[in-house]
A and B are shown apart, each in its own frame.
Chain A
Amino acid sequence: MPANASETGSRLITLLASLMLVLQLLVVVQRMLITNIRLFALQSLLLASIATVVAFAYGAWHVLVIAVLTLIGKVLFLPWLLERLVRRIKIEQELRPFVNMPASMLICGALTVLSYVVARPFTALERLGSNTLGVAITLLLTGFFLMINRRKALTQVLALLTTENGVILAAIALTTYGIPLIVELAIFFDVVVAVMVLGILVFRIRESFDSMDVSKLNELKW
């Protein structure tokens, strides 16, 4: 593999990963549910592009499978399904998070800094620009924050999916070092989460809970 191809690839990946991070922060401050779903689709598209770039730049062709799966599953199918669900059951469009927007933004900023601090000792030898792992950990942590902060069942699903994007990003970043089987595991993970999400939706959320408000899923205590 030519050295400058992987050099360009590395820069491109850093750029795309940073864009994923920006989109994640937009998700944190975005109030409308539909926009949230679209932002997630866009973020997944970036993930698919990173996978494609890795596949070409490092000749790791099996990573293309992740790119294709992400494109079909998380850019097209799941957002379509979620949007249809939102429209059909006419749930309230505006989200009311527990922590208000400026405070969430600050918390997520702090989480980003924390992730970079955590990733620092490990990135010295990284091939993929030192950013990717930091971004992956940020996606993971802010995904957890979103999961805690949002009331709607659907937005928790979205948060779980962005968390998953973070893990897959880490998987792609590590693949370039040639750990065998990582891609296969990541693919399996993709499938598991997709099944879980579909399972949640198939459980006829509507029939059981009209509002899909998780703060009303609180009958079980003690």
Chain B
Amino acid sequence: MKELALIAVPFVAAIAALLWPKDETRPWLLPATGVVHVALTMWLLIAPPPVEPMAWVAFDPLARAVLPAVSVLFLACAAYAVSYLRLRSERPNRVFVACLLAVLGLLSAGHQARHLGLLWIATEAVTLAAVPLLHFNNTGRAFEATWKYLLVGGTGIALSLLGSFCLGYASLHGGGGGDLTFVALTAQGAGLSRPWVLTAWVLLLVGYGTKMGLAPMHTWKPDAYGEAPGIVGALLAGAVTTVAFTAVLRVRAVVDAAGAGVVAGRTLIVIGLFSMLVAALFLLGTRDFKRMLAYSSVEHMGILSLGAGLGGAGVWAALFHVWTNALTKGAVFLSAGNIRRAGGGRTQDEVAGMAILTPVSARIFVVCMLAITACPPFGPFFSELRILRAAFADGQGAVAAVFLAALLFAFLGLSRLVFAIVDGRPRAAAKKTDRRFRETAGVIVPPLVLLGLSLWLGVATPSVLQEAWTAAVQALFPLP
């Protein structure tokens, strides 16, 4: 029952948010729901429930390996949101709060979905629920970003649906019943019709890759992350993308069982490296630090895809990276939100000297930058090291070389821009903007906690998590 409560609690809270009369107190629903959700996921993480094989929704090993990260990230964002929405009291927050909670509920459903159709519905409903979040600032630029998000997202939705149909047909053509639960599809294995499975794989990878933001389907991402509030960016980059990633993993397991695992692995590696390179090149050129974070997210999605393409050890490392990416990305988006608010601009031409204006946020931002560019001893360093090791163990030296080169370029691009913003003298314009912004505990503690958790994951990965990732890899790719 607890697994259903994970979905139901946020929805009940979302309805409560819609009915709640006062704008000032409504945001408190967010951390309240977040606490309940984290408590439930932690309980389920430590004491995993038995999974009924044919159930459509279950807290199965893969959900156990990923969903708690989403939950923790949401709690941090929710805590930040209380202060944030107080600063933005000029905007009504009824729809915003309700949609945030609905996104949490749908993410819980998507991570736990063991049926291709249900997974599709949950993922696409998340896309729709995120639209009012992106449009919160209600500016012309936010509208443009929402427009691109809807159009590119709609295309992705169509392709993944067609892919789901193809997988169903693969089952039917191979003599199965067309049952779209992952268990049934995997059980049919080599009985699935191969050309249909490959078609389905391409369509589903492109469809869910659009949602993840893998290059070249990433074009909505810089706009959306650039225009959305920091908390929304954090949730999109750390949580919404992971549900698409688990979708790719689940489909990959089916393709593996159908005997096309080599092809699937190769496409994931190529698309992953391509995403990393594209993101690294854009990182070297961009002058806008919120768009920089979007390209960094594209890069990390590339890392996840690469890990997923490298077999068992790589998938383990990718699951590790889901955690480190979610926590670190959360911290960096929230601190970047503070800097954006106090600096009054988003490009290095408008903003400088943030170390003087917002000393604490600027310090967190710099440390976060080091963390997401995989500097030890933070989490991403260890997860990316594992991916590198998996690449070498797989005998893919060239892949490892491209991977390292892309990481180096990304580091150069990110550090260039971050230090341009943090150092120097504050611009005159920044003194006039938003005098209300103060570095209160509400906007400092959540990113700091996330950063601390990322550090903790790096230096002392809890054994329960390691065990959860191992269980997930075994469940996805059972050893022959």
- A and B are interacting partners: yes
Contacting residue for A193 out of B144, B145, B154, B180, CB 8 A: B154
Supposing A203-B135, A217-B144, A220-B223 touch, asked if A125 and B173 sit within 8 A by C-beta, the answer is yes
Assess the B285–A177 pair: CB atoms within 8 A.
no
A59 to B282, CA, bound (A): 54
B285 to chain A minimum Cβ distance, whole angstroms, is 6
Q: Which residue of B lies closest to A156 (CB)?
A: B151
- Which chain B positions have C-beta within 8 A of A75? none
Number of interface residues of A (CB under 8 A): 41
Number of A-B contacts (CB under 8 A): 110
Residues of chain B from 139 to 155 with CB closer than 8 A to chain A in the complex: 140-141, 143-148, 150-151, 154-155
Q: Which residue of A lies closest to B152 (CB)?
A: A147
Contacting residue for A199 out of B131, B178, B179, CB 8 A: B131
Assess the A181–B180 pair: CB atoms within 8 A.
yes
- Which chain A positions have C-beta within 8 A of B178? 177-180
Q: Which residue of A lies closest to B142 (CB)?
A: A208
Please tell me which stretch of B96-104, B162-170, B263-271, B325-333 contacts chain A, meaning at least 4 of its Cβ atoms lie within 8 angstroms of it: B162-170
Q: Which residue of B lies closest to A121 (CB)?
A: B195
B166 to chain A minimum Cβ distance, whole angstroms, is 9
Answer whether residue A5 sits at the interface, using C-beta atoms and an 8 A cutoff: no
Q: Which residue of A lies closest to B171 (CB)?
A: A179
Say what secondary structure dominates the interface of chain B: helix
Assess the A122–B147 pair: CB atoms within 8 A.
no
Answer whether residue A7 sits at the interface, using C-beta atoms and an 8 A cutoff: no
Contacting residue for B165 out of A156, A179, A200, A208, CB 8 A: A179
Residues of chain A from 180 to 195 with CB closer than 8 A to chain B in the complex: 180-182, 184-186, 188-189, 192-193, 195
Q: Which residue of A lies closest to B287 (CB)?
A: A222
Answer whether residue A219 sits at the interface, using C-beta atoms and an 8 A cutoff: yes
Answer whether residue B26 sits at the interface, using C-beta atoms and an 8 A cutoff: no
Contacting residue for A189 out of B147, B161, B199, CB 8 A: B161
Answer whether residue B124 sits at the interface, using C-beta atoms and an 8 A cutoff: yes
Answer whether residue A108 sits at the interface, using C-beta atoms and an 8 A cutoff: no
7 nearest A-B residue pairs (beta carbon) = A179-B178, A179-B168, A220-B223, A208-B143, A217-B144, A167-B158, A185-B117
29 contacts between A and B (CB under 8 A): A122-B199, A140-B162, A147-B155, A153-B147, A160-B155, A163-B155, A164-B158, A166-B158, A170-B162, A177-B172, A180-B177, A181-B117, A181-B180, A184-B117, A185-B121, A188-B121, A188-B124, A189-B124, A192-B124, A196-B128, A196-B154, A199-B131, A203-B135, A217-B144, A219-B141, A220-B144, A220-B222, A220-B226, A222-B287
